[in-house]
Amino acid sequence: MTVTTRKDWASDQEVRWCPGCGDYSILAAVQLLMPELGVERENTVFISGIGCAARFPYYMNTYGVHSIHGRAPAFATGLALTRPDLDIWVVTGDGDSLSIGGNHLIHALRRNINIKILMFNNQIYGLTKGQYSPTSEYGKVTKSTPFGSVLSPFNPISLALGAEGTFVARTHDMDRNHMMEMMRRAHLHKGASLIEIYQNCNVFNDGAFSEITSKDKRADNLINLVDGEPIIFGANSDKCVVLDAEQGVRVADRSSVTEDEILIHNSKRQKPAIAFALSKLASGPHEPTPIGVFRDVEQHEYSESLQHQTEDALNKKGSGTIANLLSSLPTWTVN
């Protein structure tokens, strides 16, 4: 295995996001992570759709494709089906993956095809200069909603869990270590993984996540899900999450519950019900919001299952030739 450093993973292209854009810190996290994953550059492919986020592959010194709006999961699926040897990452925005590409996203997750999807959620259309997106909050004033959006947003984590996602996580652009940890885990997962990354678009939606990600708010408003540990948060560790008969889970004062009532986080629960309840704990990034791995379960991976069928056929019939193909037809001979 070649030893690499961050520099080896950076392409010679000048990075062209707006100064201060959250995309820079995500790029840094990925480039820092790559050397420790034990993968080769030539076996790594970044595939994106269209949007600010989707410029990502140009900046990675790997193989890469900047495809079309919303379709990256489809392109990546074809590649993963035929080249299981590759390490495939999809980079997408909230509009790219949840609006025009929503169908491809849910089906990629359902199929559990071996790709890692990094969804840069800035709750806005960046590249087209600031229209509301499927994750923009109700009431959002944008160029296309001058009187405020009258739509409820998608919750990408809930959506991914509903789509049978086997690896679903959330992180944010202000915490490099946490981003890297989520990506590391996604990389270990066999199948489709989705990481929602709260990403600040400082030009069109500045501060969308500051209620929960700014240094002074984090302790109170970020609920860090850690496997095997009770879900406790708050500057004074005085809050926790407990099961709730009505809503699945709820936030409680630690003083009001016993220690064993506190929910122990377990991303490996086969049934997604509790993960889903956790995804619904916050109605948006302005109140205590869980980050971390919501779900990480094993399930048959699509390209591998298809490959098994191929191998079965090869074992039974041998590797086919054109002559075999034609001789299997009902024929008659004229002499």
Partner 1 sequence: MTIKHEALDRVVIRFAGDSGDGMQLTGDRFTESSALFGNDLSTFPNFPAEIRAPAGTIAGVSAFQVHISDHDILTPGDSPNVLVAMNPAALKANISDLEQGGILIVNSDSFDDRSLSKAGYETNPLTDDSLKRYSVYEIPMTSLTLEATKDTGAKPRDAERSKNFFALGLISWMYNRPYDETINWINKKYENRETVLQSNLAAYKAGHAFGETAELFASNYTVAPAHFEKGTYTNITGNHATALGVVAAGLLSGMQVLLGTYPITPASDILHELSKLKNFNVKTFQAEDEIAGVGAALGASYGGALGVTTTSGPGVDLKSETLGLAISLELPLLLIDVQRAGPSTGLPTKTEQSDLLLAMYGRHGEAPLPVVAASTPSDCFEAVIEAARIAIKYRTPVILLTDGYLANGAEPWLLPDLTKLQPIEPNFSKEFNHENKDGSKSFYPYIRDPKTLIRQMALPGTPGLEHRIGGLEKSNESGAVSYDPLNHELMVSLRAHKIEGIQDDISDAVVDDPTSDAKILLLGWGSTYGSIAAGVRRLRARDKKVAHVHLRHLNPFPKNLETILKKYETVIVPEINLGQLSKLIRSKYLIDAKSFSKVQGVPFKAVEIEKYVLNFVEEN
> Judged by CB, which is closer to ligand SF4: 130, or 162?
130
Question: How buried is 322 (Cβ within 10 angstroms: 0-12 exposed, 13-18 middle, 19+ buried)?
Answer: exposed
The stretch among 91-99, 163-171, 233-241, 325-333 that binds partner 1 (CB under 8 A) is: 325-333
Among 28, 37, 180, 203, binds ligand SF4 (CB under 6 A): 203
From residue 89 to residue 108, the character string flagging contacts with partner 1 as x (rule: CB under 8 A) and all else as - is: --------------xx--x-
Among ligand SF4, partner 1, Mg ion, none, what does residue 329 contact (CB within 5–8 Å per kind)? partner 1
Write the binding mask 289 to 318 for partner 1: x where contact by CB under 8 A, - elsewhere. -----------------x--xx-xxx-xxx
Largest CA distance in the chain: 95
Q: Is 58 in the site for partner 1 (CB under 8 A)?
A: yes
Distance CA 335, CA 320 (A): 27
Q: How far apart are CA 31 and CA 12, in angstroms?
A: 13
Give the other-Cβ count within 10 Å of 300's Cβ: 12
Quick one: 61 or 128, whose CB is closer to ligand TPP?
Answer: 128
134 binds ligand TPP (CB under 6 A): no
Q: Using CB under 6 A, which residues numbered 58 to 117 contact ligand TPP? A: 69, 93-96
Strand partners, 296: 167
Closest to 86 in 3D by CA, of 123, 124, 40: 40
- Other C-beta atoms within 10 Å of 4: how many? 17
Strand 116-121 with 193-198, pairing: parallel
Strands 239-244 and 248-253: antiparallel
- Asked if 139 is part of the footprint of partner 1 (rule: CB under 8 A), the reply reads no
Residues that bind Mg ion (CB under 5 A): 93-94, 122, 126
Query: CA-CA distance, 203 to 207, in Å (whole number)?
Result: 10
Report 216-275 residues binding ligand TPP (CB under 6 A): none
Contact residue for ligand SF4 among 29, 34, 50, 52 (CB under 6 A) = 52
Q: Does 89 bind ligand SF4 (CB under 6 A)?
A: no
Binding-site member from 182, 201, 231, 262 for ligand SF4 (CB under 6 A): 201
For residue 289, list its beta bridge partners.
Answer: 222
Alpha-carbon distance of 149 to 137, in angstroms, equals: 7
Site for ligand SF4 in 259-298 (CB under 6 A): none
Q: Which of 79, 98, 208, 281 binds partner 1 (CB under 8 A)?
A: 79
